[in-house]
Amino acid sequence: MEKDYEFVKQQLGPCGVNCGKCFAFSGGNIYDLSKQLKKALGNFDIYAKRFVELLEEPVFLKYPEFKEFLDYLAEQKCKGCRNERCKLSKTCQVRSCSEKKNVDYCFQCEEFPCANTGFDEHLYKRYVEINMRMKKIGVEAYYEETKNLPRYR
């Protein structure tokens, strides 16, 4: 069943990017899956050392770095753009600007697409594409269309 407008608004920022899929989003799928993997691995540290010799697989020497990164992904970091300032795009102007313009998403603003986002070239391109698509098919349908795609593509 298609999710409603308010639910989708908690997932997508005013730029249209899906905070719910961001690695930093507490409660997002990357965060949840990282916590699950951490739990499933348990005390793998001592086994990783053993597997280097038992399996003659030097890849297990990399476990400490992998674990450090997994711990990082499994930490609470951000409640999403609708609730706090973005931790990743520090130059973002969209959140405060959309509040001033009183729009939920940039495509609802008469100035879209504007030069006021503060985004780099990559993010700007995505912002334009996402908003054009939301404008065409609606916010809820856009969410449904993309909800199972990876955020980083």
Binding marks (x or -) toward ligand SF4, 38..77, rule CB under 6 A? ----------------------------------------
H or E stretch at 24? none
Of residues 125, 127, 92, 91, the one with CA closest to residue 109: 127
Site for ligand SF4 in 77-96 (CB under 6 A): 78, 80-81, 86-88, 93-94
CB 31 within 8 A of CB 23: yes
Binding marks (x or -) toward ligand SF4, 112..141, rule CB under 6 A? x-x-xx------------------------
Question: Could you tell me the two tokens for 44?
Answer: 């793998």
- Residue whose pair of structure tokens reads 């730029």 in the numeric block: 15
Which listed residue (8, 12, 48, 109) binds ligand SF4 by CB under 6 A?
109
Q: How far apart are CA 12 and CA 19, in angstroms?
A: 6
The identity of residue 119, as a single letter, is F
Residues that bind ligand SF4 (CB under 6 A): 13, 17, 19, 22, 24-25, 78, 80-81, 86-88, 93-94, 97-98, 101, 103, 106, 109, 111-112, 114, 116-117
